[in-house]
Each structure stands twice: as structure tokens, then as C-alpha cells.
A and B are shown apart, each in its own frame.
Chain A
Amino acid sequence: MALRSFAGGTHPPEIKEATRGRPIRDLAPPDQLVVPMAQHIGRPATCAVKPGDTVARGQVIGEPAGFVSAAVHAPVSGKVKRVVQCNTPLGPACEAVLLENDGADIWAEGCNEPADPDGLSAQEVRERVQAAGIVGLGGATFPTHVKLTPPEGKAIDTVILNGCECEPYLTGDHRLMLESPHTVVQGLKLVLRAVGCTRGIVAVEANKPDAFQAMRKACAQRAEDGLDLAAQLLAVKYPQGAEKQLILALTGRETPSGGLPLDVGVVVQNVGTAHAVYEACAHARPLTERVVTVAGPGVGAPANLRARIGTPVRALLEACDWEESATRELVLGGPMMGVAHFDPDLPVNKGLSGILAFTDPTVFDHRHCIRCGRCVDGCPQRLVPSELSILVEAGRFEDARDADLLDCIECGVCTYVCPSRRPIVQWMKLAKDELARRRAREEAANRSGD
């Protein structure tokens, strides 16, 4: 039987062998950590500590600045040294707290205490998730409590846990499903309760049969009357884990252009997020650590590390036998959508799924589009990327918008397959930014004209 999937996509080499067989290792927190206030989509948290303050692990050091924001917690116990500016993977520098680790790892009062997750109401689950500062751990970093609060009139009937992990190299979600299937399923049940529905699906790509079996067993063992929990195997294809493509593959529903999954009655959460939800509700542990895959030709001993938020990327690399002098490119995230960064001292944040060290990156000269159609075949949004790339290259941003530019999910399939090596997705991002700038300018002009 053909596995479920979506139309389009591509098959980059998986390159997961180096880490998928190795258990997640705890990385000892370093002496100093830099904890950014902007680790999520929405407004950055407001720094709630000052130099000299003593903090315990799990203590709030950044207060959420509004509903679409997330709290930031101290990942270790220790002392606030300074409030500094630090680089972020994307965009400008942000405020960050420089913590000196006292090595005691003492939890704050009320944290790390067993609680009964089964007794929580939907509202209580949402509150705990919000208080724990949980954001989408797949990389999107959207505050989870917002997703768990569907607006009036939007009925949710399905929760999908995303365990596809379709990016090459990354195996953190794979290991998590294998090692902690029960916490993931219990996290799923808490999410189901929060959004008020009964159907939960754990989606796993077919290249992780062991994780699928583990999730299937856990779903069966944790079954309850009135709940419909199942693991579902999906075809191995990039970007199977993209939200809209995942929903399409599992439910046949198309998320409307510009809409959200909840418009088609679905909430999608990463398996790591479900794990964090369980930790927050059952152990009162705020989000202070995450699993990061460290791999690539520039590391001698690739691994999955459970690292504290705020640990410098350098510390993870060095724990994996980093060949620093040979490394020419550092990628944060997966190779298809990750960000190449210049700063190895950047801290681990809530959205960092992988650190890849490449020794031999290639920079291509691009050529004219030869109209081979591979990007059209591959585009999971069914756009015509070749045409968009030509429009953007010519500076025709408005025309590109009219040709459905804004439906691009920036997965990079078009650019991966392009034989002319055209930086298509880069142009898409450029045009989107430029259109947003123009719109902001127009709005400002309209306001001043009133």
C-alpha cells in the first residue's frame, strides 16, 4: 500500500545514520550561559532580573510581553552577571541575560515537583503551558499556549503530533519518540484536553519504523475511553513535516491560503513540544532545555545532546569532537531550511533543532532558468517557482505577489532541485520582505496624510 503523502516534494539524502542510533546525551551546563529574551515568534520577553540577582533554575527571568509572547526561565541556578546584547539566528541582536552557573542546579520553588496531570482542566493546561514558556520546538517557535487557545467558533477535531523530522541530518525527534514515547503520548493527551477534541495522530515518516512502533505501542497503552489515539506512517519525502503538507496528507484538508490549521479544525504540534507540555504539567518543569542534533562533516562524533537553553553553540560542537579549523559553514537547524551563521558563540535557543558543521560548502553561480520544471514538480504549495524567480530577479515584486508569491512556505525544494542553481527561495524571501516594507511605507504615508 502506498503511504500517505502530498503531491510534490523531493528526496534529499537523509544522512541520519550518524546520530539516529545514539541515545540522547545530557550536556553538562557550562559555567556561563547567555539567555536571549527573543526566542519565539511575537514580542520579546521583558527582562525581569538585574545584575547581581541570584536565580534558581526555572525562575522567570523574562516576563512575556503580551499574549503572543513567551516567558523565559533561568536554565541553571546561579547569578545574573550582566544584561547584554546577543546575536540571534535570524535578524538583529536582542537583549539577553548573562548567567553565571553556580553548579548546584537548584530548582526554584514550585518547580520540579510531581503534579497530577490527569486532574488538570483545559484552562489549567493552557496556563501551565503558558507559565512554562513553551513554544513550538520544531523550529517555528510560535508560543504554544496561543495554539492551544482556539478562538470562538473554531472547532478543533484533530491534533497532529509532528514526528516527521523530514530535514536531513536531524534525529532529535526520532530519538525522543524512541526513548520517551509515553511522555510524548501523555503530552498529546494534554494538548487534546486543552483544545477540546478526542482525535490525536502521531505522524512519523517511514524512515523511522522503530519510532513508529514505539509510538504505536505507547498510543495503545495510554488509550482511554473516548480518545482516538493513533500513530500514522507517512512516505519519506521532504517537506513532509511542513504543517500544511502534513495536514493534507493525514486529513485531506487544504489549509486556506493565508489561513491557519485551526481554520480546517486541526492543531499541529511537534513531538518535542508535546514532551515539554507533559514536563510542564506533570513535573512543573518550565522549558529550560531541549534536544539538539550536532552533526555534519565538521564534527568527529555526531550526537544528540540535551542542552540547556543559553549554552553556546560552541560548547555543543566541542562536546562532539568539533574540527573547528576545518569548518567553513555553521548551519543552525536542518540543511534545507536552517540558517548559516557566522557566530559559534550564539546561545542555544528554544527553536534550535540542529547544529551542522560543514567543511566544504559550495557557492554556486546561477544561470538562466532552463524551464526544466523540476521546481514546479517539487513545489509542495503547487506554485510555479521558476516564473516567480524570473519576476523577482527582474525586480517585479508586485507581479510576483500576483503570481501567488505569498503562498510560498520557503521550504527550499525549488532551490535544492534547480539545475541552473538559481537561489529561488532566497529571492522569494527577498521579495516578501520588500513587499512588506513597501506596504509599511504606504500605510505610514496614508496615516500621515489623514
Chain B
Amino acid sequence: MPANEHRYLVTTSPHIHAEQDVGVVMRWVCLALAPAYVWSVYRFGYWPLGVAAIAVAACVLTEAACQRLRRQTVTVNDWSAVVTGLLLAAVLPPNVAWYIPAVGGLVAIGVAKQAFGGLGANIWNPALLSRAFLQLSFGAQINSGRWPMTRGESVAQAATTSLRASFEALAERADVITQATPLEALMRVQEAGGGAGARAYGVAIRDGGLETSWQAVLDAFLGNIPGCIGEVSALALLAGAALLLARRIITWHIPVAYLGTLALLGWALPAPYAQAEGARAFTDWFTGPALYHLVAGGAVIGACFMATDMVTSPITRRGQLIFGVGCGLLTALIRIYGGYPEGVCYSILLMNMVVPLIDGWTRPRVLGKTRKETGP
């Protein structure tokens, strides 16, 4: 045997690897969320950054603690917990108290992710499962009906002086102008035939159809509406999604299938509403506000950032199309016929559960085998 027997590394092929590892993927997702956060600071002051920092810290600490307790390698350096924290904060209102993102991070990582075995093994999107948990546990704080809309002079000053001042300005100052979200407006108009909140978006039932104003669609697209920290501006989110598409971190399949289905059903389905005398009626088929459905609420962040979560979405591209259509269908049904104004969170969580089934249905046919011969 030659003397230099152990000089050379002996590994199996391939001997070269693509550059994108998990850490790179996760850091790109963080960067893709930056436009939404920048917009949020512009709209609501510094407190949203405080919420994000608390959520991220809670996620990272919980991940490290769980892995330590289970005597596993601590893998917080893969940035996946940071992504979960940023996504969680993005779907919380800008005026939440500090302990809500803290508890949320604990639940997202501790319950939704680590209890199932960590990154890659979780069934549900951790940020959304946590959001659903917070909704059930802190409903009053999260759906306070006091969505900050615009800031008065004094609030604007306070908002950028300190985090505490920013929070107080958003949550407590009387001169914060609050307003219903676009989807709440839609729901109210369906319940009561048009309320005060609905008028801000031009939402009304007229001649058997649901009407919204072009101005409302434009405002929601740009982000001049009340809503959660990271979801108000469709434009900022789409910019981030374009980055992820360009880096090939996500593909078009889920977002297009999701938003396409939502727009189609939002336009086609007849919406129930209460007539003046209390009788139930339906709007006409094919008259719904398709664009309004796309830009309002969490549709864009859900379709581009939540439903595209690699771990909890189908692995085949055909499966991703089915998954996206399913998410869009459920979102439309919940929004139009359900008891909540918004359906994005529950739609995605429900579809997460059928991912293994979809993967089975859409298993590709092996080259040189018939579909029947392809196992298992």
C-alpha cells in the first residue's frame, strides 16, 4: 500500500454541489420579506419591528431549547426559525402587545415544528398554526376591531421615537384613526346590507351585485389599508415573491393556482347577504369583486409565502397546482360563505393536511414504466 493512502478524501459522487443550501434559501426568504416590513414601518412606525424581533427571538430560542433538551445538534444557524418568526409577525396586527408574538413563537416552533421532529417533518406551516392558536387564545387582542389606519400628528412623532412610544401610539392613543379591514367591510355588508365601515371601500350591494371601488383596490394593492404587519401591501409582497421566483426558491405553481382560483371564485360565486327586511338573498353569479379578493387581506402573503413553504406543500409541481387550487377554493368559500372575514390561514392549514395524499396522486410516471408499474 502506498504511504499516502490517507492523503486524499474519498467520498461518493457527485463531487460538486449546487450553491443553494438550506441556509441560503432561508436567508433569501428573509430578504424577500424586507419590502413588506419596510412598508409596515412607513405605515405604522417602529413597533412592527419590535413585534418581529420578539417573534424571531422566541422562535430561535425555542428551537435551540428544544434541540438542546432532545440532545440534538442545534440548527438555528439554518435560519429557518428566523423565517418562521418573520412570517408569524407578518400576520399579526401592528398593535399587538409584546407577549403575543412571544407566545406565538413558542407555539410555532415548540408545538408546530419541533414536536413533529423539526425542519422537514412538520405537517402544518408553523407560523400559520401559531397564528390560528393566537386567534383562539387572544381573540380580543387580535381582532380588536381597532385596526390602526392612519396616524395623527402626535402619533407620527411618537411612532419613531421609541418602540414603547410607537406601541402606545398604535394601541392606546385616541387619535389613532381606526377602520375595518377590507374583508371585514365585505363581511359587514353581507351581514347588514352595508355598514359605515363598508363605505370606506365603496363596498355595497347594488342591483344584486357586490360593488367595490377602484380606489379601494388600488389602496389595497399599494398598502394604504389597515391590516396585519406584513400583509397590507400586495405590491411589496409581490416584489418579494418576484425575488424568490428569480432565485428559483419558489415556483409559480402554487401562487398562480391559489390566486387564480381565488379570483375566479371571488368573481363567479354568488355571495349571500341580508336584505333590509332581514330576508337572505344572493348576489348574481359572475358579479363578484375578483381583484378586491386578490389584494385584500392575506391572499398575497398566503399564496406567495405561506402556501409555498416547501416542507408543508406537495413535492411535485402537479401536486402544487392541485394544492394551490384547493387553497384558493377554501379561501373563497370561507370568505364568501364562512363565519370569518378571512380564510387564508385555515385554508392553508387544511390543505397542509392533505399534502401526503396529493403527493401520492401526483407521483410522476417513472421513465420506461407504465403508470401501473410505477410504485408504490
Contact = CB atoms under 8 A, between A and B. Distances in A.
For the complex of A and B, the 6 pairs showing the least CB-CB separation, nearest first, are A368-B120, A412-B14, A382-B364, A257-B368, A426-B12, A372-B310
Contacts of A416: 14, 16-18
A377 interface: yes
B366 A244 contact: no
B311 A371 contact: yes
A423 to B, nearest CB: 7
B22 A419 contact: yes
Interface in B1-52: 2, 4-18, 20-22, 24-25
A416 B15 CA distance: 8
B368 A371 contact: no
Contacts of A383: 364, 366
A337 B13 contact: yes
Given A340-B10, A370-B119, A381-B368, 17 more contacts: A331-B13, A338-B15, A358-B15, A361-B11, A363-B9, A365-B73, A367-B120, A371-B315, A376-B364, A380-B367, A416-B14, A416-B16, A419-B21, A419-B24, A419-B25, A420-B22, A423-B12
B152 interface: no
Contacts of B363: 384
Contacts of B17: 362, 364, 415-416, 418, 421
17 contacts: A256-B368, A257-B369, A257-B373, A335-B15, A337-B13, A340-B12, A340-B13, A342-B5, A363-B11, A371-B311, A377-B317, A383-B366, A399-B376, A416-B17, A416-B18, A419-B21, A423-B12
B8 A368 contact: no
A425 B375 contact: no
Q: What secondary structure prevails in chain B residues at the interface with A?
A: loop
B197 interface: no
A336 B13 contact: yes
Contacts of A384: 315-316, 359, 363-364
Looking at B316, B317, B367, B376, the one whose CB has the most chain A CB atoms below 10 A away is: B367
Interface string B279-321: 0000000000000000000000000000000111111110010
Contacts of B311: 370-371
Interface stretch (A59-67, A103-111, A401-409): A401-409
Centre residue among A244, A345, A356, A361 by max chain B CB count within 10 A: A361
A371 B310 contact: yes
Contacts of B8: 327-330, 340-342, 344
Contacts of B368: 244, 254-259, 381, 407
A417 interface: yes
A412 B366 contact: no
Interface of B: 2, 4-18, 20-22, 24-25, 73, 75, 78, 117-121, 310-317, 320, 359, 363-369, 373-376
B13 A370 contact: no
A262 interface: no
A254 B367 contact: yes
A75 to B, nearest CB: 22
A416 B12 CA distance: 12
A383 B73 CA distance: 31
Given A342-B10, A404-B375, A367 B22 contact: yes
A373 B369 contact: no
Contact of B119 (A168, A255, A367): A367
A349 interface: no
B118 to A, nearest CB: 6
Nearest to A325: B7
| Contact count band on A | 35 or more
Contacts of A257: 366-369, 373
Given A368-B118, A407-B366, A345 B2 contact: yes
Interface centre among B10, B117, B312, B314 (most CB of A within 10 A): B10
A386 interface: yes
Contacts of A168: 16
A407 B368 CA distance: 9
Contacts of A429: 12
A340 B366 CA distance: 30
- Scoring A358, A404, A429 by chain B CB atoms within 10 A of each residue's CB, the highest score goes to A404
Contacts of A426: 12
Contacts of B119: 367-368, 370
A370 B22 contact: yes
B121 A368 contact: yes
Contacts of B78: 367
A96 B125 CA distance: 59
B317 A373 contact: yes
Contacts of B20: 419
Nearest to A423: B12
A282 B245 CA distance: 55
Contacts of A336: 13-16
A320 interface: no
A256 B311 CA distance: 33
Contacts of B16: 12-13, 168, 335-336, 416
A335 B17 CA distance: 10
Tell me which of B6, B24, B310 has the highest count of chain A C-beta atoms within 10 A of its own C-beta.
B310
A166 to B, nearest CB: 13
B6 to A, nearest CB: 7
Given A10-B18, A362-B17, A384-B364, A343 B2 contact: yes
